[in-house]
Amino acid sequence: QQQVKQSPQSLIVQKGGIPIINCAYENTAFDYFPWYQQFPGKGPALLIAIRPDVSEKKEGRFTISFNKSAKQFSLHIMDSQPGDSATYFCAASLKGGGADGLTFGKGTHLIIQP
């Protein structure tokens, strides 16, 4: 049972464009929504995270938009660079992951073309 649905599966954007990756969740008890970036041969690295009491959070070029009523959240990457090419995962958890760990989406393979 997939509790976090992520789309698109893959995405190609020109340098400077704004890739947008979307996730939808089912469990309304989730209260922590992180995004992870993974390069080949490496483990996921935390990019940015949001709690459901805010609708948007920005950290550098990365922005999370959160829509609690729609049970959806998305990642925007401003001024994208070739070095942003990686696989991105959204995730969700109860009580910050202390219970049942993180539930991940299936990932989005992002390519930023020069």
Q: Which residues bind another protein (CB under 8 A)?
A: 4, 6, 32, 34, 36, 41-46, 49, 89, 91, 93, 95-107
The residue among 17 and 74 lying less far from another protein, judged by its C-beta, is: 74
> How far from 7 is each of 37, 55, 71, CA to CA, in Å?
15, 20, 14
The residue among 15 and 106 lying less far from another protein, judged by its C-beta, is: 106
CB distance 23 to 90 below 8 Å? yes
Peptide bond into 114 cis (omega under 30): no
CB of 103 vs another protein, minimal distance in Å: 7
CB neighbours (10 Å) of residue 62? 17
The residue among 17 and 22 lying less far from another protein, judged by its C-beta, is: 22
CB of 42 vs another protein, minimal distance in Å: 5
